[in-house]
Amino acid sequence: EADIYQTPRYLVIGTGKKITLECSQTMGHDKMYWYQQDPGMELHLIHYSYGVNSTEKGDLSSESTVSRIRTEHFPLTLESARPSHTSQYLCASVGYSRSYNEQFFGPGTRLTVL
Amino acid sequence: GDSVTQMEGPVTLSEEAFLTINCTYTATGYPSLFWYVQYPGEGLQLLLKATKADDKGSNKGFEATYRKETTSFHLEKGSVQVSDSAVYFCALSPNQAGTALIFGKGTTLSVSS
With cut-offs at 50, 70 and 90, classify the pLDDT of residue A19.
Answer: very high
User: What pLDDT digit, counting tens, does each position of A33-90 carry?
Assistant: 999 998 888 999 999 999 999 999 988 878 899 999 999 999 999 999 999 999 999 9
Query: Identity (one letter) of the amino acid at A47?
Result: H
Which amino acid would we find at residue B49?
K
Res A1: pLDDT: 57
CA distance A47 to chain B (A): 12
Q: What's the maximum distance between 2 C-alpha atoms anywhere in chain A?
A: 46
Residue A2 reports pLDDT greater than 70 = no
Report d(CA B8, CA B6) in Å as an integer. Answer: 6
Helix, strand, or coil (residue A110): strand
Residues of A with CB under 8 A from a CB of B: 2, 6, 30-31, 33, 40-43, 45, 48, 50, 90, 92, 94-96, 98-103, 105-108, 110
| Amino acid letter for position B70 | T
Closest residue on chain B to A42 (Cα): B105
